[in-house]
Amino acid sequence: MLSKRWMGSAVGILALVCLAVEAKAENTACGGLPGHADLKSALAAATASETSGLNHHMWATLVDRDGNVCAVAFSGVNRGAQWLGSRVISAQKANTANLFSLDATSFSGGSGQASGLALSTANLYSAVNPGGSLYGLQASNPVDTSVAYKGPSSNYGRANDPMVGGKIGGVNVFGGGLALYGPGRVIVGAVGVSGDTSCADHNIAWRVRANLGLDHLLGVGGVSGDPNRPDNIVFDITPNPNGGTGVSAGGFGHPTCINTASPSSLPAVQP
């Protein structure tokens, strides 16, 4: 007859094995996304080509469809060459765009979006302000600080950044986060970029996504009114005569920034 001690040990070992298998299965989605070297290259090219904003270096983060952080990179010569606070913000933006974007699989039984719905973090700005249709959303998914600030700091932005493999959480509601769509307009995760004005962040994230070839959004639903750029930033906020936050005509507007570029200057998305 097996002893209770042996049975307890066996159950404990089995539980550990199950947890390891579950963690491995959850992290396999990152295998289909670009790695650190590709993200860093795409970010450096996007930062160099964008002329709006403050001309800062940038942070970028990729997450998979489950919200696991897959890669973190910076464009400067070291981790201190761009705003240090923007590392975590870039991850928040990636998480947000992934959480609130859809593809055509969302449609079934007469509900959902037949062509999907891509929402950039820039599209959420007005909706989450007081009186907006999504007010309170920004407080709905808090950052996991044990993932966000895990050390060592010397690895931040490298291939072994401590955020990689963890779920960052967080919701950020200004420009810089975009869902990633692969061939067939299938959502595979998201990219977040931070380090400059929120408008420049959006533009650089847009260029990063295009550089990675994960902008297969032509035909996906959006709120921008531009079918060639469905989740583009929208500048339709007018001053509120009563003071406070301006009013967005469409409900998804974003304020302009210093040295703001035209949204139409961004490349069209792919089929």
- Domain containing 243 — which CATH number? 3.30.450.150
- Cα–Cα distance for residue pair 257/107, rounded to 1 Å: 36
**Residues 163 and 92 reside in one and the same domain:** yes
What's the rounded mean pLDDT across residues 77-87?
98
| CB atoms near residue 162 (< 10 Å) | 19
Name the residue among 71, 85, 67 with its Cα closest to residue 40.
Answer: 71
pLDDT confidence tier of residue 242, bands split at 50, 70 and 90: confident
**Residues 9 and 53 reside in one and the same domain:** no
Query: Mean pLDDT, the chain, as a whole number?
Result: 91
**Residues 136 and 40 reside in one and the same domain:** yes
**Residues 17 and 139 reside in one and the same domain:** no
**Residues 25 and 145 reside in one and the same domain:** no
Q: Does residue 270 lie in a domain region? A: no
How many domains would you assign to the chain? 2
**Residues 7 and 49 reside in one and the same domain:** no
Structure confidence by residue, pLDDT tens digits, 8-50: 444 444 444 334 434 443 445 799 999 999 999 999 999 999 9
Q: Does residue 4 lie in a domain region? A: yes
**Residues 5 and 41 reside in one and the same domain:** no
**Residues 16 and 147 reside in one and the same domain:** no
Whether the Cβ atoms of residue 188 and residue 182 lie closer than 8 Å to each other: yes
Query: What is the span of the domain harbouring residue 221?
Result: 33-265
**Residues 22 and 142 reside in one and the same domain:** no
**Residues 53 and 24 reside in one and the same domain:** no
* pTM recorded for the entire structure: 0.90
Quick one: DSSP state of residue 153? G
Structure confidence by residue, pLDDT tens digits, 56-75: 999 999 999 999 999 999 99
